[in-house]
Amino acid sequence: NKWVLILRGSPDDSHSSPFQSQSSLRKKILKAKDAGVAGVIFISGEKFDEKDELFELNYAMREPNAGLPVIQLKRNIADKLFEKLEVTTSVLEKQLNENLSPNSFEIDERISANINLKKINAKTENVIALIEGNDPVLKDEYIVIGAHYDHLGYGGSGTGSRRPDTTAIHNGADDNASGTSALIEIFEKLAAHKNELKRSIIFAAFTAEEMGLLGSKYFVDNSPVDIKKIKFMLNLDMVGRMKEGGREFSASGTGTGIGIPEMIDKYADEMNLTIAKSSEGFGPSDHASFYASDIPVMFLFTAMHDEYHTPKDKANLINFDGQKLVGDFAFKIITNVANRNDNLVFQEAGPKERQESTRRYKVTLGIMPDVAGVVENGLRADAVIEGRPAALAGMKKGDIIVAMDGKPVKDIYEYMNRLSDFKVGQRITVEVLRGEEKIILLVEL
């Protein structure tokens, strides 16, 4: 029943530090949890935080609990625990920074901690509409046009706000009222031409994009139609900040379907537009969920700006003429795909998982993890990428990872921290639940 006192940070907090992979709070908690401690107490050394400010121990809106109590102490309180040893928190920090080696010891003190947490689950919805096609055969095929309608609310720590210390409404005029309003305008225009459409069109206003594409992932996993019948997805996200007087924006996912670049060029020429094309299908928005299911995608986007994810993303900064250009272009694309005789042929264009993971971590399994945390006490593989370590070992979509190399995996954070301990070429065991059956896979990284 021992608690462990842990200093925040590391001897070298630069991004190139050899301690970087071990310095996060989650990593330290996981190490303590593996050691079987009763709880964790974080303290800040003087070099790490001169002001010794207490910080929020909740870093993500969807983050599960750590599985053991975690608290923090101010330095002056922690120093009272060290009085018999005649040292202070700052002295211990200095020794660790200079010696670059552990300095563990026991303190013969009893502590009493009372933690009262209440987990509140919230329900939210995607908003879906349908215009049915007219061709007796092709009407059973579907085109999805989508935009996320959620925003960051009042911001604050853990919301993704770029001003986490400011509590103020984040209107999200560009991110993503621009996309949702364009979606509505395109719906009205297509509805006026519904008798001309061969294929059916699904309009999707996705929820919880800002929390990790949760709405679009739910749509794909619980599609109202056969997912194999969805032939194309067009995503509108941040389409309201085209440069004033300009006619330029970007289209991503152009490599995910044969013929997409040529289609873009055709309408760009017709409308006198300059469109920057990016072939990769994965990206930080809802089209990524469809790309992971082998559906050709296109992601339209105008520009990044300083107001992104701040309270300053307001309607007075929207370029409405530019937004209309994007909407008109999207209308032409949707009409083309809905009425062509042949379907766009899917092709892979880049990874189907977050690229940050391949840079931050030495190895990956090659899965798209369930970032929503739908499954408790494990991590579900929402997609298993062909040719990657997990697929080669026999992992299947829907498998729930519960342990890696004998150590438990409770959620996505423990999964990522476990990954950081492994090396390329290493063989590890991965325990998965497949229905009621527990299976142990041998994975070569």
Last residue within a domain, chosen from 54, 83, 99? 99
User: Tokens 């706000």 appear where?
Assistant: 161
pLDDT band for 354, please (50, 70, 90 cuts): low
Distance separating alpha carbons of residues 357 and 440, to the nearest angstrom: 24
Name the domain boundary from 297, 314, 346. Answer: 346
146 neighbors 209 (Cβ within 8 angstroms): no
Mean pLDDT on 262-271: 97
In this structure, are 342 and 210 located in the same domain? Answer: yes
Q: What is the pLDDT of residues 315-331, one digit of tens each?
A: 999 999 999 999 999 99
Residue 111 in domain: no
pLDDT attached to residue 313: 96
Residue closest to 12 by CA, chosen among 93, 92, 87: 93
* Contact between residue 307 and residue 314 where contact means Cβ atoms under 8 Å apart: yes
Name the DSSP class of 301: E
Q: Tokens 């050899």, residue?
A: 18
Mean pLDDT estimate for the chain: 89
Q: Residues 23-39: what's their mean pLDDT?
A: 87
Span 151-189, pLDDT tens digits: 999 987 667 788 877 889 999 999 999 999 999 999 999
pLDDT band with cut points at 50, 70 and 90 for residue 139: very high
Copy the structure tokens of residue 303. 């520009």
Whether residue 158 is found in the same domain as residue 253: yes
Q: Report yes or no on 79 lying in a domain.
A: yes
Total structural domains within the chain = 3
User: What stretch of H or E contains 417?
Assistant: helix 412-419
Domain, as residue range, for 253: 127-346
For residue 61, pLDDT beyond 60? no
135 Cβ neighbours under 8 A, 6+ residues apart: 198, 199
Q: Categorize the per-residue pLDDT at 373 as very low, low, confident or very high, splitting at 50, 70 and 90.
A: low
CA 154 to CA 427: how far, in whole Å?
A: 46
**Is the sign of the CA dihedral 279, 282, 284, 288 positive or negative?**
positive
* Residues 305 and 171 placed together within one structural domain of the fold: yes
Distance of alpha carbon 373 from alpha carbon 371, whole angstroms: 5
If asked whether residues 66 and 148 sit together in one domain, one would say: no
Asked if the structure places residue 247 within a domain, the reply is yes
pLDDT of 13 reads 65
Domain contains 361: no
Lookup: tokens for 305: 């700006």
Q: Give me the mean pLDDT over the 225-250 stretch.
A: 95
The CATH number of residue 386's host domain is: 2.30.42.10
Which residues sit opposite 234 in a β-bridge? 145, 298
pLDDT grade for 369, boundaries at 50, 70 and 90: confident
Of the pLDDT bands very low, low, confident and very high (cuts 50, 70, 90), residue 66 is confident
Return the minimum-mean-pLDDT range out of 137-141, 184-188, 260-264, 368-372.
Answer: 368-372
Q: How confident is the model at residue 376 (pLDDT cuts 50, 70, 90)?
A: confident
Residue 59 has pLDDT above 70, yes or no: no
| Beta carbons within 8 Å of 83's beta carbon, 6+ residues apart | none
Note whether residue 318 is domain-resident. yes
Q: Which of 11-20, 31-40, 129-138, 165-174 shows the lowest per-residue confidence on average (mean pLDDT)?
A: 11-20
Examine the domain organization and report whether 23 and 82 are in the same domain: yes
Instruction: Verify that 380 and 332 share a domain, yes or no.
Output: no
Per-residue confidence (pLDDT) for residue 360, from 0 to 100: 47
374 and 269 within one domain:
no
Mean pLDDT of the 99-125 span: 84
Amino acid 58: pLDDT: 62
Q: Which pLDDT does position 160 carry in this prediction?
A: 78
- Is residue 362 over pLDDT 90? no
Task: Quickly tell me which residue has 């105008």 as its tokens.
Answer: 302
Say whether both 91 and 136 belong to one domain.
Answer: no
Q: Residue 408, exposed/middle/buried by CB under 10 A (0-12, 13-18, 19+)? A: middle
Residues in a beta bridge with 400: 380, 433
The CATH number that applies at residue 324 is 3.40.630.10
Average pLDDT in the 195-221 region? Answer: 95
| 64 falls within a domain | yes
**289 found inside a domain:** yes
Q: Are 201 and 143 in contact (CB under 8 A)?
A: yes
Percent of the chain with pLDDT over 90: 55
202 three-class SS: strand
Question: DSSP assignment, residue 200?
Answer: E
In this structure, of 6-10, 13-17, 340-344, 389-393, the range with the lowest mean pLDDT score is 13-17
Q: Are residues 64 and 145 in the same domain?
A: no
Residue 163: predicted pLDDT: 82
pLDDT number for residue 63? 56
- 136-140, 161-165, 186-190, 311-315: which has the minimum mean pLDDT? 161-165
Residues 414 and 290 in one domain: no
Mapped onto helix, strand or coil, the DSSP state of residue 337 is helix
Q: With CA atoms as reference, report the closest residue to 314 among 435, 149, 178, 123.
A: 178
The residue length of the chain stands at: 445
Which residue, 317, 346, 375, sits at the end of a domain?
A: 346
* Residues 425, 286 share a domain: no
The per-residue pLDDT for 319 is 97
How confident is the model at residue 248, as a pLDDT?
92
Position 122 in a domain: no
Is there a single domain that holds both residue 80 and residue 140? no
CA–CA separation, 175 and 210 (whole Å):
10
